[in-house]
Chains A and B, each alone.
Chain A
Amino acid sequence: MIEFVLDGRSKVNTYVQLVQQVKQALRVGMLTPGDQLPKVRDVARSLAINPNTVLKAYRELELEGLVEGRPGVGTFVKATLASAPMSDQAELRGDLVAWVHRARDAGLTPDDVTALVQTTIRASYPRQEEHA
């Protein structure tokens, strides 16, 4: 079972924060198919948030086919987001580390690197940008 944590300073909508946290847990393998999400009542109580907000987040995850609600039982994970196996990620990470070192040696600041990465992501994943 995961526990939701809200970023109080974030401008991101509360329900979006819940959706993002579930997706992150799916990506890193903290949640796998069959796992149950916390009950709406428990999330509402522990975070002191409106239960409709939790329902909205779970509905969105359901629409994306990631979870399914079983009436009277709870909400369960149906799919996974862990895409590339960890071994591939290690290789990608190695490439990235080498590239970041080149950028640093070329005199780029961390902010320059972030900006460059973000514009590249935007150009390479044109549709996901709208959603984020």
Chain B
Amino acid sequence: MKQTDNLQKLTIAMPKGRIFEEAVGFLQEAGLQITSDLAESRKLIIPVPETNLQFILAKPTDVATYVEYGVADVGVVGKDVLLEEERDVYELLDLQIGYCRMMVAGLPGWKPTESPRVASKYPKIASRYFREQGQQVEVIKLNGSVELAPIIGLADRIVDIVSTGQTLRENGLIELEHICEITTRLIANRASYRMKSEAVDDIAQKFLQVIPRNQK
């Protein structure tokens, strides 16, 4: 196949926030020359000298968007984002980091109500889940502090991700139902997966070397 230099250049979208540190550590272990102070830099596009890589730092939900539109070739993103955003991308690898659970929580002693309301940062996941359970619920989209909703009576249950469960406990909530497990994934743009197949395969291969070491 024809090769040009341009086709070896790879833009990687990285999520700021919850899984950032773990993801950077993972990339370093995979042999990518990136420094740990990536996050402290205020720059949003960070080229890695002497390689064909550059990083884009983005909000986790935007990582999938960047990759779908092809402004980033590959991205590191949580399955929670993929389930919620339903982006048309290749989901290549489960990196087995950033582990948490998507679940339904509520106050202890929760009883089914006549007009159930669920608050979530993940309205699509919440709607889909309850629909599959044969329940019609009203979903309220929140952008943060979801645990507050049952306490102040905005909703009777919430759908959110939980890693240690500490935030839930501190707010007096309990897990009611387990929806699915969430880990971090390597995703690729449809065109990059073909146009830059060698470069994409190369990075996937490097990541693959690290995964078994991280297995719990």
Real binding pair: no
Measured CB to CB, the residues of B under 8 A from A are none
